[in-house]
Amino acid sequence: MQKRRLGKGGLEVSAIGLGCMGMSFSYGPPADKQQMISLIRAAFEQGVTFFDTAEVYGPNSNEELVGEALAPVRGKVVIATKFGFAPATPGEARWSALNSRPDHIRKAVEGSLKRLRTDVIDLLYQHRVDPNVPIEDVAGAVKELIGEGKVKHFGLSEAGVQTIRRAHAVQPVAALQSEYSLWWREPEAAIIPVLEELGIGFVPFSPLGKGFLTGAIKADTKLDSSDFRNAIPRFAAEARAANQALVDLLTQIAVSKRATPAKIALAWLLAQKPWIVPIPGTTKADRLKENNSAVKVELSPGDLRRIEDAISQVDVQGARYPEAAQKMIDR
């Protein structure tokens, strides 16, 4: 597996990471724990050294899973986790309450360290920007934790340009994690230029469009009732039917390259910048191998132009989040 650097602080990771959220959370019932431990360890054996989790995934159980799976190789991997959501209260949606107060950050980190079975968090992200806490206070709190040796690098998730600049001025930001893929390209307008200017890495989540870009999800695909994609406008049946045109074009390109749509989608991301590290998630061994082999797909300038021409023909339908979640995106 090739390696890439995130930020200017020497954080080196595999060119493709593994997003572990779906093993415990959001995409239907949690997967079998022992099978997921085996999958995470298989990822390491295939060269993956970058693993992504968060205290809210589960909640907490995903960090415990990742910690147990990686304990035998802890010194050889980079674990990223996140803080920023308050514990859910009765009748309240877990994702609706933000809390990035410095005292809460410290408490969250202590919990994450225990669940991850480690004495240091390699990359600590603020999960969502808290409008009630100045980002300078957040960055300052993480800076203190770095000084204490409990955290190595600071990251942000779904943060806007001004927030990134203000945080970076207090504590250098190693990476921004936000959605970016062939069907969500908004970061190209303002986010990617500021990351390049400041020397911050980019970690795209949902690089396969929450599974849609693999071609496995059709308009009539039935998702489990607990799958959060049921609430995403982009996954409404009519939107999926309209967006199938993008997958069809991607499939044509994949066939010509003797690859799969997923490999092309990931290879396209890798080709955008040398400091972009996508973190596709999966619970399936065959998908894991498919995703990781995308590093071997070479896209020429002509290939990239062909992809650009193809996707420009499709107007992707549907918002990427329900309204409540959309309000948490920092602009």
* 125 is known as an active-site residue: no
| DSSP string of 105-154, one letter each residue | HHHHHHHHHHHTT-S-EEEEEESS--TTS-HHHHHHHHHHHHHTTSEEEE
Q: Which of 57, 125, 180, 321 is catalytic?
A: 57
CB 294 within 8 A of CB 204: no
Token couple for 187? 């970061």
Q: Give the separation between CA 159 and CA 165, rounded to whole angstroms.
A: 10
Structure tokens at 250: 């991607």
Distance in angstroms (rounded) separating the CA atoms of residues 313 and 308 = 9
The DSSP bridge pattern shows strands 78-83 and 121-126 to be: parallel
For residue 10, give both structure tokens: 């020497």
Residue whose C-alpha is closest to residue 221's, from 3, 58, 23, 27: 27
Q: Which ranges of the chain does DSSP label H, i.e. alpha helix?
A: 33-45, 61-70, 102-115, 135-147, 161-170, 191-198, 237-256, 261-272, 285-292, 301-311, 323-326
Q: In the chain, count of helices (H) and strands (E)?
A: 11, 9
Task: Provide the annotated active-site residues.
Answer: 57
